[in-house]
Amino acid sequence: MNVRTTRIIAAGAAAGALVSLGVTSPIDAASAASYCFVYADGDEYSNAPTFLQVYSDGWRTIATGSTDANGCGSFNINDPNRDHEVRVVAQSHSYSHNGIRWIWRGTTPATGESGNGNADLGTGSVQSTPVIRRPLHR
């Protein structure tokens, strides 16, 4: 197992535990933010949507992007938003053959505080939840 795989597995497990508890840990910097996401089984969250959020009376999305083939990405953060805490959220959905809608969601394990550096937000774990059963056509 290479170093990147070991880091992703360890970070994914830790991130999953933190996200499920709603815990994030702040780090310095917020003119740019880099991140990665993996599914619970360790596969990369490849070429999938991500959302940069800032905290100002609640979390709000200020930019959208996507991960690369390795499940990683980055955002540049413009001046007005450098005064706020930032995080990245991964979210997508799919339907299974039996009509169940699955929401795939994860949050970076760290948040970036206000500042002018590059925040490494870590590797988040993307979990799935069945949310809506569509009527089956007969």
Inter-residue contact 78 to 84 (CB < 8 Å): no
For 59-82, the pLDDT digits (tens) are 999 999 999 999 999 998 876 667
Residue 49 lies in a domain: yes
Residue 47 lies in a domain: yes
Give domain status of residue 119, yes or no.
yes
Total count of domains within the chain: 1
Written as six digits, the tokens of 21 are 């508890």
3-state SS class at 121: strand
Q: Is residue 138 part of a domain?
A: no
Residue 83 lies in domain: 3-133
* pTM higher than 0.85: no
pLDDT digits (tens, 9 = 90+) for 82-121: 778 889 999 998 888 777 888 899 999 998 877 767 889 9
| CA end-to-end distance (rounded Å), the chain | 48
Look up the CATH number of the domain holding residue 78: 2.60.40.1120
- Residue 52 located in a structural domain: yes
